[in-house]
Structure 1
Amino acid sequence: MLSAIGLDEAQETVYRALVGLGAAEVPYLAARLALTEDDTVRTLRHLERQGLAAPSSTRPGRWVAAPPAVALGALLTQQRHELDRAELAAAVLAEEFRGQAAEPAVHDLVEVVTGAGAVAHRFLQLQLGAAEEVCALVTSTPTAVTGVQNDAEERAAERGVDYRVVIERGVLSAPDGLVGLTAALRREERVRVVDEVPTKLVIADRALAMVPLTPRAAASAEPAALVVHGSGLLECLLGLFEAVWRQAVPLRLTADRASHEEHPGHPDGADLEVLSLLLAGLTDASAAKQLGLGLRTVQRRVRNLMELAGVTTRMQLGWQAYERGWLSR
């Protein structure tokens, strides 16, 4: 929790213990935290440099915690000041970059990134740098990154970044595949499903894209990706995403289990979960497994939906679901 002000886990643990005790000798503190005395002393010395602890002036070997409100407040103020300076520097650099990039050279329009670590880091940067929208095509065979399940996505969504994501059907059948998708939908991200996406792709603010260079068949090859800046190639990638998006089926997963009586003539949340997975191409058995329901329960819900829609076939049910806005595009 205090890593933002420069404390690692061990330093935070020692400081919290010292705050709880008010003051303590090194041997007692080391035994309490299962640390060696040398490690405890080194950690206390670091806390002293941060103004969070100090040796007692009356009892040698005893350390006293600095009041958190004062000590941490000073560190937070310093951190905010440094962030303000960094933000100003970033704004200046961005302005310089825009000036230099008015007519970029052809070789500056693409970057080649190689190695799993570098690809994952660039993917993280794209999402954290997005200000308005992230569009993504997600395959069922992640390599350097893990599709919709990553912290960067959650942090970007918290800042108000809109997400449009198209996933392959195989993602739904992956272990815990619905867990990340459910979390994404709760963040009001829009998710759609197709049989297969042409490639993994992420586009940030319609200004920067990232697409893998490594073909799917070469799963054992070192991951590599192409980062594409504003250009005709970027326009092609945007067009590719929009074409796949238009053909994809919306996915709906919800924890809302409202009853038919609360919404007469409209299916409840559990019914729509079943319907969404079936329209995405899952079998009754696969949908039951993903939702933790029995096969008979899923089949019963499908029959109820057909009765509610006044149809006799599942094809008619899909059409009526669209017409009635149950799972609208």
Structure 2
Amino acid sequence: MLEVAGLGEVEERAYRLLVRAGEADVADLAEELGLTTEAAAGALAAMRSAGLAREVGDGGRRFAPVAPEVALGPRLVRQQETIDWARQAVEQLTEEYRGSLRRRNADRLIEVLPGRAALRERLRHLQDTAREEVMYFCRAGHVVMPSQDNTESLEALQRGVAYRVIYERALLEEPGMVANVAYGIGLGEQARAVLTLPVRMMIVDRAVAVLPLVQHTHGTTEPTAALVRGSSLLEALIALFEAQWERATPIRFREDGRLADAAACPLDEDELYLLSLLVAGVPEKTIASQLGLSLRTVQRRVYHLMELAGAQTRMQLAWHAARERWL
């Protein structure tokens, strides 16, 4: 049990006997442990050298144990430090091994999915096993399945997986899409729209992405897709999604359930006036004074404008307002 502290089997038995007895000589150890006199003497000599036992009495033939916390404590601390250093070295070597493996076996980073059946099955599996977030580029015209048939996304939303989806405007004009998007938003999906998307793509948990290798298929041509795992390429695809997300317009619905015109300004006259003051650089405190409102009310209305624009900062709000021609 105490091998980790550097004790052999005989030394450990002898030390435990000394701890129980308080003190003993060579003959006592030999008799109690069933050892020869030579073996008992060797064990005592080893314990003395290791600082586990000390001589007592005038004759120097009897021995007592050194307190365990004094004899073994420092050894265990040093042993633990050695283990910690070894663990760090193993982690570093593991990281180097994985990096080398990725360089030498690039085929493990990209898997080709030939045909609709293989692609559909992989899309189903990835969404069924998603834990945190799915990011989607949805282009007009389906390749594998219509958006309405993607029931896995609805099931993932219901179990708490976050979905951020960017739709092409043309896709929203396809029959049944508005109701489908509205239902997803009702379950928690964050949806935005852009005029065009560069590629179809799905990224799951920032760990794997799926996208077609050939964008356009005609007739009976089978689509071929790539499954991309953790790599610089995957990081680039994530950055592409985030860049598109920033420039996309949040999808809103009117009270009657119809999709709001993405090109129309959603602001009323008061909101437009407030926005014009913000864009002009007027401080919120001055705006509050001019409008006869409290500063808190102005800040709340500004926050509402940022939510409408999908902006995180005042600068993003101004940029979005200019791009959408709200002013």
Give the TM-score of the pair, scaled to structure 1. 0.51
Alpha-carbon deviation of 1:171? 1.5
3-state SS in 2 of match to 1:198 = coil
Provide the residue aligned with 2:11 in structure 1.
none
Give the Cα separation in 1 of the matches to 2:185 and 2:236.
Answer: 28
Mapped partners of 2:168, 2:120: distance in 1? 20
Corresponding residue pairs, total: 189
Amino acid aligned to 2:152: A
Q: Secondary structure at the match of 1:123?
A: helix
Aligned partner (choices 255, 260, 277) of residue 277 of structure 1: 260
Closer/same/farther in 2, CA of residues 327 and 125 from structure 1, 3 Å limit: same
Shift of residue 217, structure 1, vs aligned partner = 6.2
Query: Counterparts of 2:213 and 2:123 in 1: how far apart (Å)?
Result: 14
Report the counterpart of residue 112 of structure 1 in structure 2. 112
* Runs of 4+ deviating beyond 6 Å: 319-323
Q: How does 1:313-328 map to 2 (within 5 A)?
A: 324-325=305-306, 327-328=308-309
Q: Distance in 2 between matches of 1:170 and 1:232?
A: 31
Cα gap change, 1:110 to 1:151, in 2 (>3 Å): same
Question: 2:185 matched to 1:185?
Answer: yes
User: What whole-Å deviation, never above 9, does each CA across 1:269-290 have from its counterpart, x for those lacking one?
Assistant: 528x67x732x24x8xxxxxxx
Equivalence for 1:233: 233
Structure 2 contact 139–197 (Cα < 8 Å) conserved: yes
- Structure 2 distance, partners of 1:237, 1:164, is 14
| 1:244 matched residue in structure 2 | 244
Structure 2 counterpart of 1:270, which letter? Answer: E
Contact 2:210-2:225 within 8 A present in 1 as well? yes
SS at match of 1:236: helix
After superposition, where does 1:165-244 map in structure 2 within 5 Å? 165-216=165-216, 218=218, 220-244=220-244
Q: 1:321 to 1:166 in 2, by over 3 A?
A: farther
1:81-123, Cα deviation, whole Å (9 max, x unpaired): xxxxxxxxxxxxxxxxx9x967442111111011111111111
Provide structure 1 residue ranges, at least 5 long, that are not aligned to the other structure.
1-97, 254-268, 284-301
Mapped partners of 1:165, 1:192: distance in 2: 6
**How far apart, CA to CA, are the structure 1 residues paired with 2:109 and 2:122?**
16
SS for the counterpart of 1:277 is coil
Alpha-carbon distance in 1 for matches of 2:116, 2:303: 41
AA at the equivalent of 2:268 = M
Preserved contact between residue 148 and residue 181 of structure 1 (Cα < 8 Å): no
Given the two structures, how large is their TM-score scaled by the length of structure 2? 0.51
Q: Does the CA-based 8 Å contact 1:131-1:161 persist in structure 2?
A: yes
Contact 2:148 2:177 (8 Å CA) reproduced: no
Gaps of 5+ in 2: 1-94, 280-300, 311-327
Shift of 1:321: 9.1
Match runs of 1:1-329 below 5 Å: 103-104=101-102, 105-147=105-147, 149-216=149-216, 218=218, 220-253=220-253, 270=255, 277-278=260-261, 280-281=262-263, 306-307=268-269, 309=271, 324-325=305-306, 327-329=308-310
8 Å CA contact 1:214–1:221 kept in 2: the answer is no
Quick one: structure 1 residues 106 and 176, their matched pair in 2 at CA, closer, same or farther if it must change by over 3 Å?
same
